[in-house]
Structure 1
Amino acid sequence: MKKSTTKTALIPKMYCNFFGHDYQVTKKVTYHVKEYTCSHCKKQLTTNSNGNLIELTPKFEEINAILERIYNTRMERSREKRLVSSIY
């Protein structure tokens, strides 16, 4: 039973080794930070502070969650300011 699961897991990795990864955006943290997942082997990447793609580790998952919370709070405050200024 385990042999079939390892063979099925091996095929996507071989595909990515031969053709390259097919990354798709899975989460938009901010307008410039995103999380990506390969559609074949499910490898996850994110954007670091320099704009380079790096592997998504638990540390970067936590950083992205905090960054997303701060970004959403700022955007909400910005929307509220625009609404208030448009009324007056």
Structure 2
Amino acid sequence: MKSIQCKVFGHDFKISRHVTYHVKEYACKNCKTELTTSGNGELVELTPKFREINDVLERIHHKRILRKNAPLNQELDKTQAKLRIA
């Protein structure tokens, strides 16, 4: 029954996971079909290979964000320490 609704009305895709700013994974609300964004920006079916690629890409993206924000966090800690002393 789930696939009949998708055949008649089309899929109702919702974002199931944000991999990076540009890459996301989508899942159909009705039939649970999963798609992801390819390297060209097109939506392609989420295969085990794409799932593994997205896992690695998410890990790299997360580390890069942490590394980029680390100097800001250190400066905030120093500023807060100075305010506590004063």
TM, length-normalised to structure 1: 0.83
Match of 2:65 in 1: 75
Q: Find runs of 4+ consecutive structure 1 residues off by over 3 angstroms.
A: 84-88
Q: Distance in 1 between matches of 2:68 and 2:11?
A: 37
Matched, 1:58 2:58: no
Larger Rg: 2
The AA in structure 1 aligned to 2:51 is E
Deviations 1:44-88 (A, max 9, x none): 000001111000000000000000000000000011022345658
SS of 1:42 mapped into structure 2 = coil
The AA in structure 1 aligned to 2:20 is T
The AA in structure 2 aligned to 1:71 is H
The AA in structure 1 aligned to 2:25 is E
Measured on the aligned residues, the alpha-carbon RMSD in Å equals 1.3
Matched, 1:42 2:32: yes
Match of 2:2 in 1: 12
* Identical counterparts, % of pairs: 47
Q: Distance in 2 between matches of 1:37 and 1:75?
A: 26
Match of 2:22 in 1: 32
Aligned residues: 78
For structure 2, the residue ranges without an aligned partner over 5 or more in a row are 80-86
Matched, 1:22 2:12: yes
For structure 1, the residue ranges without an aligned partner over 5 or more in a row are 1-10
Q: Distance in 2 between matches of 1:32 and 1:63?
A: 14
